């Protein structure tokens, strides 16, 4: 496969999820690909109530994967700073699936609904022909893309709080 052919298949997905001390959260999925030297990006985001940073990050991954074109197979590179999500997608979810979605301690993984949906997308070989989750940190990440995801997830946290506040005043 040539570099040009590979570039047509490759999509980078930077994700971030955040919460505040009240349990309100925001998430961001920042997609990027380069085809024929032209860059394409898409930013998705949302918010949740009574949630966790892990759940918000999984939401970002799920929505990012759902935004991929259904009729075009891709190779996805997912970038996250949450180690249990990196190991969960690269390894653990296959073991959970083999054990009827139970961990080694015979318990359901937290956020099972999201893990199952992510698993279904990533194992659909007509859509995702390959993927890798990269654990990013200050030293090995593409800093501008990582910061867009982190900043946008925080913005959605604030937008969610404002919307919920405005609804409560009505």
> Burial letters for 35-44: b for 16+ Cβ neighbours within 10 Å, e otherwise?
eeeeeeeeeb
Whole-number Å distance between alpha carbons of 59 and 29: 9
Q: What is the pLDDT of residue 94?
A: 96
Evaluate the CA torsion angle 76, 77, 82, 88 in order and state its sign.
positive
Q: What is the pLDDT of residue 104?
A: 92
81: which 2 tokens?
């700073």
Which structural domains are found in the chain, ordered by start? 3-169 (3.30.420.10)
Q: What is the pLDDT of residue 143?
A: 63
Ordered per-residue pLDDT tens for the chain, 170 residues: 677 776 678 899 999 899 999 989 999 999 998 877 888 999 999 989 899 999 999 999 999 999 998 888 899 999 998 889 999 999 999 999 999 999 999 999 999 999 999 999 999 988 888 888 887 765 555 666 667 777 777 777 777 766 644 433 33
First-to-last C-alpha distance (Å) of the chain: 58
In sequence order, which residues have a C-beta less than 8 Å from that of residue 47 and are 6 or more positions away? Answer: 24, 25, 26, 27, 156, 157, 159, 160, 161, 163
């Amino acid at each position: 496969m040539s570099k040009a052919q590979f570039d047509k298949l490759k999509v980078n997905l930077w994700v971030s999820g955040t919460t505040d001390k009240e349990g309100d959260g925001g998430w961001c999925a920042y997609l990027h690909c380069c085809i024929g030297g032209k860059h394409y990006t898409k930013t998705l985001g949302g918010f949740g109530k009574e949630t966790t940073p892990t759940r918000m990050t999984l939401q970002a991954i799920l929505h990012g994967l759902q935004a991929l074109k259904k009729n075009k197979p891709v190779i996805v590179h997912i970038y996250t700073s949450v180690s249990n999500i990196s190991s969960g997608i690269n390894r653990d979810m296959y073991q959970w699936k083999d054990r009827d979605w139970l961990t080694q301690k015979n318990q359901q993984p937290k956020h099972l609904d999201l893990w199952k949906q992510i698993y279904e997308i990533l194992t659909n070989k007509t859509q995702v022909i390959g993927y890798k989750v990269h654990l990013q940190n200050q030293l090995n990440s593409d800093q501008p893309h990582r910061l867009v995801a982190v900043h946008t997830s925080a913005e959605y946290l604030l937008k969610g709080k404002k919307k919920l506040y405005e609804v409560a005043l009505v």
